[in-house]
């Protein structure tokens, strides 16, 4: 025999057992107290439905309300945190230390890091508040934010009010080049001699200072390996 996990989607509403009995969804009993529970509607394979009644504790142990997207986010968060707790315990165990393949150890460690950030993302979505900060945010996520058009910075930078941004990719045609203030005249002359003069801006990164000064920026080794990146929401 092998272990299997299944899921079932049902419609339900709170209902006392006496009401369910009156509707034919529960059997009569000699209960001295009218039991709390749920009227549950199940789907049959042929598309029809059938109704039943389940005691409150039994139902709530097996099912979670998923009526709204927030309900579903709570279910997802609970599942991720439960699985992450088990993974974290495994990473501290002797079983993890006995793994000989370094690649496997790395993937398990990376999985734990991603699950931490995933939980934080779900929490921010539940609260409908994007704060721009994830625990231990690495440069890789900062790059994804830059691609999305968001400004980023490191918490460890000394300069206040500065951030990095990716310039919007654009194609400057020949009729615009002579009017550009950012190009020296000799460069304009050189470009205009081409058969199809143009400039394609692609992956330029700018470091914008509080004063408004913007310089071309390239990540240093310390920037690449840092885990204190954040998305700039306000100065």
Separation CA 39–CA 26 (nearest Å): 9
Separation CA 184–CA 4 (nearest Å): 69
H/E stretch holding 37: strand 37-43
pLDDT at 170: 87
What sign does the CA torsion over 84, 86, 87, 88 have?
positive
- Residue 235, pLDDT above cutoff 80: no
Q: What is the pLDDT of residues 183-217, one digit of tens each?
A: 899 999 999 999 999 988 888 999 999 999 999 99
Q: What is the pLDDT of residues 152-187, one digit of tens each?
A: 999 989 878 899 999 988 899 999 999 999 889 999
* Region label for 140, one of left (φ > 0), alpha (ψ between -120 and 50) or beta (otherwise): alpha
Q: What is the pLDDT of residues 46-83, one digit of tens each?
A: 999 999 999 999 999 999 999 999 999 999 999 999 99
With beta carbons less than 8 A apart as the criterion, state whether 49 and 57 touch: no
Q: What is the pLDDT of residues 89-138, one digit of tens each?
A: 999 999 999 999 999 999 999 999 999 999 999 999 999 988 888 888 99
Work out the burial of residue 206: count CB atoms within 10 Å of its CB; fewer than 13 is exposed, 13-18 middle, 19 or more buried: middle
Average pLDDT along the chain: 93
Which pLDDT band, with edges at 50, 70 and 90, does 33 fall under? confident
DSSP 80-142: HHHHHHHHHHHHTSHHHHT---HHHHHHHHHHHHHHHHHHHHHHHHHTT---S--TT--HHHH
* Region label for 87, one of left (φ > 0), alpha (ψ between -120 and 50) or beta (otherwise): alpha
pLDDT at 48: 95
Tokens, residue 98? 């006995």
């Amino acid at each position: 025999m092998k272990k299997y996990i299944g899921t079932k989607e049902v419609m339900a509403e709170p209902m006392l057992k006496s009401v369910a009995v009156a509707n034919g969804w529960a059997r009569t009993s000699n209960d001295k107290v009218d039991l709390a529970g749920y009227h549950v509607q199940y789907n049959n394979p042929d598309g029809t439905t059938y109704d039943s009644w389940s005691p409150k504790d039994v139902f709530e142990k097996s099912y979670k309300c998923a009526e709204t997207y927030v309900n579903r986010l709570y279910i997802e968060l609970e599942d991720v945190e439960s699985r992450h707790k088990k993974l974290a315990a495994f990473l501290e165990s002797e079983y993890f230390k006995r793994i000989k393949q370094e690649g496997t150890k790395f993937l398990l460690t990376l999985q734990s890091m991603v699950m931490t950030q995933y939980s934080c993302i779900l929490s921010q979505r539940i609260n409908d508040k994007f704060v721009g900060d994830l625990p231990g945010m690495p440069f890789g996520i900062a790059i994804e934010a830059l691609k999305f058009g968001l400004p980023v910075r490191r918490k460890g930078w000394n300069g206040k009010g500065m951030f990095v941004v990716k310039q919007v990719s654009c194609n400057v045609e020949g009729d615009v080049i002579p009017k550009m203030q950012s190009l020296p005249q000799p460069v304009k002359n050189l470009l205009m001699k081409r058969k199809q003069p143009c400039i394609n801006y692609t992956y330029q990164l700018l470091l914008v200072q509080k004063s408004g000064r913007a310089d071309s920026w390239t990540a240093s080794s310390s920037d690449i390996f840092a885990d204190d990146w954040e998305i700039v929401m306000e100065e």
